[in-house]
Structure formats: C-alpha cells, structure tokens
Structure 1
Amino acid sequence: MLKRYLILSALLVCFLTAHTDLYGQENNKQIAADLVEIAEGVLNETKAIVQACDMFIQAAETDPNNIKANFMAGQLCLETTKKPLASKYFKRVASLDAEYRFDINYLIARGYQYDQDYDNALKYYNLYRTKAIEEKNYRGLDRKMLSDVERRIFECENAKNYRANPANYKIVNVGGAINSEWDDYAPVLNEDETLMIFTSRRQEGNLNPDVFEDNFYYEDIFYSVKENGKWSPAQNIGENVNTLYFDSNIALSADGKFLYLFNDENGGDIYVSENLGNNEWSSPEPMDGAINSSFAENSISTLDGNTIFFSSNRPGGRGELDLYVATRDNRGNLTKVKNLGPTINTEYDEESPFIDYDGKTLYFSTRGREGMGGFDIFKTEYDSTTQEWSEPVNLGYPINTPDNDVFFVSTKDGKRGYYASVREDGMGFTDIYMVTVPDNSEGSETLAKEAEDLEKPDNKNVEANIQAKEEPETEETEEPAEMQPVIVMLKVRDADTRMPLESRVRLRTVEGNLEAGYERVEDGLYRFEVTTPEPTEYMLTVESDGYLFKNLKAKLPGTSPEGTEINRSIELTKLRTGVSSVLRNIYFDFNKATFTKDSYFELNKLERLLQENANISVEIAGHTDNIGAKAYNKDLSQARANAVVSYLANKGIDRRRLQAVGYGEEKPLASNDNEKDGRELNRRVEFRVVGE
C-alpha cells in the first residue's frame, strides 16, 4: 500500500519539476493539493509518518499558501526527527489564518523549543498564554491547559540556564561498528565494559526482511564485544531471543549473565534471558515474583538480582509512570515492592532507572523537575543512615536536550556513560553515544559529582576548584590569580544587505564536543564564554533559515588572569540558484569513498538545510588533487559525490533534488605543488544550488 502512494508522489514531483515553467502557479496549487491527498492516504492506511511528513513538506513548498499542507507538515515534524523544522510551517499557518488553530502560537513555540531557540520559544509560549487567559471560556480541543504552558515556559528558562553553563562532558558517537543509518538505542553493558547489547531497527542482520507499517524495520537485539579496545561489528543476538517482530533489551546484569527484555504482552512485562556461553542466550521467560503486573513495566536495573529497580504505571503511584524497588525475602522470592516515594517520583513520568555499581547512586529519566523538555536524565544518592534519597540533580546540557533523553547507563569506574540520542553528528536517526568526564586532574570525578559541581553558580572553572581542594593549605602560599574566560563576540550579518541576522549558533571543541555557553546580546550578536584552560581548536557553526550555513574552525586561547576578548563577524549568503559552498568538513577514508566519523556533523547540517528549503535542487560535486591517474581521480570523485547523495537520500531527501558529479582534478582551488596550501584544499566536496 505504501509503495503505491510513494510512486504516486514521485510521479507528481517529477511532473512538477518538468512542467513548472509551462503551467505556473495554478498548476503548483493542484499538485500540492494532490500531494496532500496522497499524504492523507498514507496516514489513514499506514503508520509511515516519516514519508507522509516528507509529502506534506513537498506540498507546502510547492504551494506555500496551502494551509493544510503547512499545518500537517508542522504537526508531523513534531512527531519525527524533524522537530526543529516545525516552527517554519506553523508560522506560515499563522500568517495565512491567525485563527486556524487556537493553539497555533503554542505549536510554533514547541518547534522553537526543540530547535533550542529558547528566546523565540518563550515569546510564542507567552503569546499563547496571554490568549488563553483572555479567552478563558474557550473549550475547544485545540486549547492547551495553562498548566502545560507554564511547564513549557519553565523548561525553556531551565534550558537557557543549562545551555549558558554547559557541563564539562565529552560526548562521542561510538561509531559505525555499532551505529547504523537506522535507529540504534538502549545500550546496556557488563561491568568490565567488554560487551554491549542494544536494540536496532536496521536492515542488515535483521531476522525479518520486511518493514513494519511505519516503513522501518522491526526491532531486533544486537551485540558487540570490545576487542583490543575497539568495538567489533555488531551482530544479531540470535533466534533464541529475537523473533520476527519487535524485540528490545532494557538491562544487563553486571556480570553479563542475565539480559532483561521488554515484552508487550499483558500490558507490558519484563522478561529475562540467561547467557549460555559462546554468544548463545536462552529463550526469554517472564521475571519471577511481584514485578510484573497487569499494568506496564517498562524498564529495570539491578546489580545482583536481589534488589531491583523498575518503572511501572500500576495504581498507587504519583504519576503515570513511577519508579519502584523490589527486594527478595528470606526465601529468595521477589515479594517486597515499594514505591521510591516523592523525593524521586513526581506527577510526571519517571523512567529508565540505572543503579550504579556503588549500590547507592541511581540515574533515571523524568519529564518533571528542572528539565529542558521531554525526559531529562537525573541522578540521586541513597543515604543508608537516614534511609532517604537525596534531591535529584539534572545532569545538564549537553547530555540533556529538549527531546527525550532516556536509558543512560554508567561504567563501573564512573568515568563514562552510554546512552542514545538524536544529535548533529549522528550516523542515522538515533545513535548510541559515549559520555566521558575529561580527566583533567589526578582526582578524577564521576559523572554525578561533575553534575553537582557545575550546578553551583560560582563554579567558573571546575578543574581549578578541584586542584585547589587537593593542594595542602600553607600560610605562606600566595593565592593563584583567578582565571578569566575567553570572550568571543560574534556578529552575524546578511552578506548582501549587511544587516544583522538572527541565527542558530554553536561553538564546540573539534575533539570531544565540549561546548561553550553563550547568550544572545541583541539581533545577530552573540556572546560566548570559553573556559578551557589550554589553547583548543573549536568549531563555530552558524545557520539561518534561507541561507547557506557555515562551519568554521578556529584555535582559541585558553583562560588567563587577564582574560581575552575576540570579535568575529560572519556573513551568510542567501540561498539562490548559482550559489555554492565548499563542504570542507566532509572527510573520506584515504583513497576511498567511505566517510570518516568526522563527516557526519557537516552532512547533517547539509541535510537540515535541504529539509528546510525543500524547493531547491543541488549539485553535489566531488573534487580531487592531481595525485594519481586522471581517469582514476574522476571515478573516485564521482564515487564520493555519490556517497554524499546516498547519505542524504537515506535521511529522507528526494533524490530528484540531488545531482552527483565527479570533476576529478579538473577544477583545483589552489596549486597542487604542495600539500597543506594546495592539494589538501583541492580534495573537497562542494554543493551548488542549481534550481529553486
């Protein structure tokens, strides 16, 4: 059924591309209306919301005045990984008919919140809040409760604070041995960090060759082992555990002997499989005792199988999902089940507990507390003397985001953690990441300790504070001068008009993804604080709707007693036919057309640009230096251009908008006489807008 709709959609787009000049605007309106009808059919008969979303976006770009196409494009963006694009389409709806939806400003704000544009999100949430108060008697289904709006405003204010003071975490994609171009999530590890088990909706290795109604492959459980410090290519865990339908892991015992799984029978139960050796696992069986009920049990964590933390929506909780603990009695039966209480559980959902190896630190995710939106990861510690849990602490940005951040697990030494997220350097939809606390001192902190320190308002330099605590006190010692941050003042302008340009900006380290906090000073002016103690190479990213993005590398000095201020101006060029840009941060393995892990950040920026500007077509051009035979270089450059096109197409960009051309060594930017200033510049990928 879905295939038929996709064919109809493709035929319409081809017709549009071929005959736009001939038939003009009226024809565009009809094609957009037809695309809307096809997309509605997809929604009615399948669950393929990603494909339906693409069709609504295409319809909205074909006819920007089609209010239904724009509204549905925004609505489905909020239900997919395209959430940051939603505001664009909801704002069009509001401009076409301000009364189309009572909650249109709320929906615009949701898109901005997901896009981490908190100033605009707060602006539109407050616009909706004012309207809801003024029209308090309105009772339509499109009215959002004021309590919900207040919560969103609270989340945005929290997020602004977390973003301005990012935690000192290094977040790294675990790479292609584990991650795929599909969804990969729910990583669990044994205590010596040599075995990782996770859930994936990939095609390769899946027991079921067919896709589900949403046009993605079924969930299967995969595993990888660490060999010589590297993760081996992931393999399917096998037919004893996986079925032809949905199978997902949720926990692994510390010794790696017991794998816990979610089974959707009986409202949602927890099953367990035993490691039989030689990568063989037993058929999963329901857990014993009082953990499973006729209600949902979604997640679990245990060190030894005697004390078990889990989530459930059974009656008696404070919210929909609460966290519970179960313990075995003297006979070894899991009969004692206790709600973890109001210190941890809220009126919102609590999910994905992970009890650390110290037996007292509990990580979990919640929709409540001082979150940024969706689920945020928190940690709490149990005091055996008072028999109480400490007030939970948010792990902060960049671990937490406005989207759902769940199923975080820590390593035994507390220096690393693993979780899944949709991030700018992802290889697929959802990827698995490793979180590391940089070891800048002899006394290494745990993730939990780092989060606590960074929440203190006077903590400008965690490393300096730690070192100061460790050095013995002496009466004669002179206090070291306080280190001042590097201030980067960034002005963004339109390249044609030279006017200030509102943009999305980010400054992060090239190695490690440590991020500088920033604030918007005024239109187009942003102030960053860089607190790394040593000179460090940073990547500056600047994006604005309808403009070419820029990713620039710069080596910034470290903190100093005097402080440093750097002023930088960036000009962005409007997207129009003929403009081009070099994608300098797309790298290939030597003499191959396969990407290195450093390429995905740039590729995903290009994907977002094409998603936001669905009316443009581009040429992807591959170039080489003059080392090697001309014919070989031409083939290699073509293969690299093809690789970029394939990646973009797999992320949902219509192939008809993409042309791959390999120019080989024909169009050098510099002399090929030397490496650094010549051949290195000539080995590149460019994109050029060839149609609007």
Structure 2
Amino acid sequence: MRLRFLLWIVPIFLVACSAEKKAQKAFKLGKYQNTIDIYKKIQAKNPNAGKPNYFLAESYRLSNRVKESEAYYAKAGGKGIDKDTVQYYYAEALKANGKYAEAKEVMNKLAANAETPAMKDRAKAGADGIAYIENLETKKNYYKIKNLELINTPSSEYSPVFLNNELYFTSSRGKDRIYEATGTPFTDIYKVASRGANVDVATVAPLPAGINSESINDGCITFSPDGKTMVFAKGNNGKRKGAEDVDLYISRFRNNVWTEPVMINVNIANAWDSSPAFSPDGRTLYFASNRKGGYGGDDIYSAQMDSRGRFSKARNLGPEINTPGNELFPYMAEDMKLYFSSDGHPGYGGLDIFVVKRVNGKNSIENLGQPINSTGDDFGMFLFRPDRGFMTSNREGGKGDDDIYTFVNEDPNLKVVNYYLQGITYGKDKEEKVQILPNTKVTVLDGKGEVMQDFVTGNDGKFLFRVYENEDYTLTGTTDGYLMKRQTYTTRGRSVDPLSLKELLTTITFDTTLVLDKTETGRSFVLDNIYYNFDRAEIRPDAAVELDKLVQLLIDNPEIKIELGSHTDSVDIESYNLDLSQRRANSAVTYIIQHGIAPDRLVARGYGESKPIARNTNPDGTDNPVGRQKNRRTEFKILEIRAVPKTLETDDSFDEDKYFKTDGN
C-alpha cells in the first residue's frame, strides 16, 4: 500500500547534527524509509525525544504505514511542532489499530481544546465518525470476501481491473530496485487470464516495456469499454528532476500493439495525479489528485473525453465527496454508483471503501462496512458483475503488503436498474421543415442546473445519457447556425420497483427529441402565455415566467439582436391598439433589460391590430374568441446575427491526432 499515494513534504525544521541533516534531506525528498532508518538510530539514544518521534511518526504516516506511527505520535513534540496536528494524527493511528475508545477520547479532547476552529471541526467530525462506525456494526451486511491467494505474493498486489477475461493489477513482485520512499520495490502492471475470480496463475505476465519502466512506479490502470484505450499512472522515480511526482498517461491499441504512452492534459505539474477510472460509457475519466485548490490531501476529479481522445478541464467533485482527508481510487460501476476510498469520511481506520448512492437527485455516501472494510487500508473496488468483484486490502491475515481479494454481495434484494435517456436532434428552418441535425452538442443538467454530461451527436443525430429515477433534468442543444435550445425532462413517476423485478440487472430507456431552430434574420417566434390585464401594459407574474425564458435564450445566444413585437386583436380603434401594443412591447423590453440583457440587443415595437394571424370574427360577422386570442400575442424576431467570439471548453485539451497516426483501426 505504501506506494499508492505519496506526497512531497517540505519540512520547516532546521537541525544541527550531521545525522539529522541527512534525515531532513531524505524527508524533504520523500525518502521516508531512509528518514526512518536514520531517526531510529537517533531516537534509540533518547526514546522520548519529541522531534525524532515526530519525524518517525510523519514518515510512517506519509509512506502509508499509519499503524506503525502510533507509538511515535504518542511521544512527538518540540519547538515549532503543532501539538493539535500531532494529537489528530495520534487519534487516527489509534483508530487504525482498532483502539476506537482511546481514539474517540483523544478526538473529543481535541474538539474541545484545539486552537483553531478548523481543527475543532475536524476533530469533532473524527469523533462523530467513530460513533458512526459503532452504529454501522449493528446493521446487517451481505458481503463476503476471500483472499485471491493464487495471485498474491509477499510483495504488493493492488488495483485490480477486469476486462475481456483478463485481470490487470499492479505489483512490486520481481523488482530488485528499491524505492527509497518506502523501502519496497518499484511496481509494474501485470495481467493474468481469468474467468471472473478464477485466475490461471500460469499466465501472469507484466505488460510490455514502454508501459512498464525500470526504476519508475507504474500502476493503477483503467480501460475504455472497448479495451482500445488505456490510461495509467506513472511516476515516483525518487528523483527531483524528471517526472514530477505521479502523472497520468494514455496509450491506444493499434495494429495489435500499444502505442507509446504520453501524458494527458489533466495532469498538473508538481502534483500527484493517479488512480484513474473510466466511466462505463468511456466518456468520463475519474482520477485522484493532490493539486492546489482542493478540499484536502487527495481529491477526486473528473474530466470528459470526446471521441477523438480530447479531455476537458478537470472538475473537482466537490465537498460532498472530498474532505480535508484523502479521497482516491474512484470507480464508477455499471449502475453508475461511484465507489471510492477515503480516510476523511467516517471509517474503521486507514482507507475505507464508500459508495455514493443517488436518490431523488441527492447523493448519500455510505461506508460499505465490514468485511469489505477493516482497520487496514481497503481500496481499489471493481465489479465484474453487479454482485461480484475485486478489491484490495493490506489487512491482517494477508499474504503480503497489499493483497487482492474477491467478494460477493449476497443481498437477496439486490436488483440493479439502469435508466437511460436517448434521443435525436433535429433542425427546423423558417418554413418549419425538420431534418436530423448532426454534430450537435447535447448537455444534460441536473435539477440544480449543474452539468452532468455532454454528448456530440453523429450523422444520425442520436444522443444517450444515463439518468436516475425521480429527477428533473434540463437538456441543452447547440451547434453552429442554430439557436441554443433548452428543454426539460423528468423521470418522476416513470421508475419501476426493483423488488418487482426477477433479473439481477434491468435496463430501461426513455425516448425524447430535441428540435433546434435555425438562426435566420427575419425569423419570428411566438412567445406563449404572455398575457396582460385588460387595457394594461404592466408585466403580470405569469408573463414574467415566459419572459424569463426569453432572457435565458438571449443569454444562451449572445449573437442575436431581436425585435420584441406586441400585437392586439381588433377590439377598440386602431390608433388606440397601436399605442397599447407599443406600451406593452416597451414594458417587456424594460423587463428584459432589468434582467441583464444589453439594451442595444433589443428593439420594442407595437403592431396593434395590423398583423393578425387569425380571423377576429367569423364569416357570418359573429365574434371569434379563438382567433382574437391568437392575435393577442407577443413575438420576437431576429433582426441581426452578430459575430461573437466563442470560448472553447477544450482549449487546453489533449488531441490524440497530435500523437497517434490514424490507421483506420
């Protein structure tokens, strides 16, 4: 486990003696095992010295050996060392060793006496987390796990990924060169033939040179659904020059070989970017990073990848998932539940595996409980069936540092229902002719208006999104030459009761269409439900709702200048109707300007009764109320289409064409 998320730390302490200088230099370079070896000799002369104990504790923690840090944090201290931080990590070490009562006591004292509000809050959360675990133990758990003994060795095996009857994993087996940060060998990526959890150990082999490298840690791999694109982590060579910590690389399978890996643009210099995982549709890459601007140590991020291998800007998944601790090893299952490991959410100690469940548009985060989790580090979840999969743990009783385990979920009520929304984009011109509209970017937003996913349609105009039960969505469509379109969709009342299903996995697909209007000067659009009180021009609340939609349309389409025209029926004299319609048009334009639209994009015009679209009276001279209602309308007409600079979301994107030759495969 020690190699999985190492951080560079710059110490703030100056020491005088030669041994301590060497230890400090090793600590600064992230060579934590060297630091431990030196400070143990220093500490042997004075076992209770605060500073050596502090650096021993920190070196064990930062090389992910939290259990071993307990005895040293208990004695850590000295000038310049933050005592509250020491106490917090001492409590975490106690918890990692299963000493929950003692850990809770330390956390409670720290919550009451810490010098900063932030540490008080963090300690209180730690104490509450222990209470959460105690309550979790009272609930029924249907998981069963088993050590995958044929694969595991005294070395480290972790991050299992299953694809096309092959199990990929990371291991430090067979490597002679030692990584000075942890005192363990460097890692490579391996694969083995496997039918589910039945592995053919005789087929274990490392991936080819170019993917694996000497004296560099290679590990944590993920594949696109078709198996032709891989992203994996590479780094930690122990040198200050060269690869900066850990980065993500991409390779494509072409002509039966993997292309030379290249770094992808989601990496940040001097940051740790690792544990990648593609979503089931291959369009989203999840990964962990300790880059600046996050919520703690390691946070989980996502980036969209298009059909050409270009990545969008990475997006932090937010404080609901990320904490002041570490969140890493994300995995999106086929049912779109996000699994990840964390030492910041309430857990048993070290890393625990959590699942994000989405219900009625809200996320809840649940600890999977024992036996999936333990006082050790538990991570690297992967499901090869909805009820079966792999994970990694360095718990007691294993064969080595990290071991791969298999698990089964025997919940009798386990039923997985996947909901999808599919549709087709169409374009409509001023003659109302409709045809399939390709190359349209369709985006689905959740009930809060936050982007969930993008899709660019092909020649067939088709798009497909994963959706959830009992939620409201907004679809947007945009392409050159057409007005950006917004359209609502809801899955409320359309879900099925999982308990009524017989199959373990069920897929339900909803259908919709998205029709975009061609951007053409002179084209007019009727605004529905823009009503005024009799003989009045003030904007009514129901009319404001519709005008708000026009405001949004103008925001979405900054290139258009419009005329807002008001029309009346033939009641009253023509001059009066002309004046009334002008006042109503002015009122509507004023409302739109007040909501942020520039005045030079708007023209108000009243047409009175001069442009009816229906008869005000029937042929026999009687009143035609339906026709009059149609004539009492408000329209907007495109007057001008301006050139507006576009901001591309993929300005900093990775373009595979820059690196890979197209061979038709």
TM-score under structure 2 length normalisation: 0.49
Q: Larger Rg: 1 or 2?
A: 2
More helix by share: 1
TM-score under structure 1 length normalisation: 0.47
More strand by share: 2
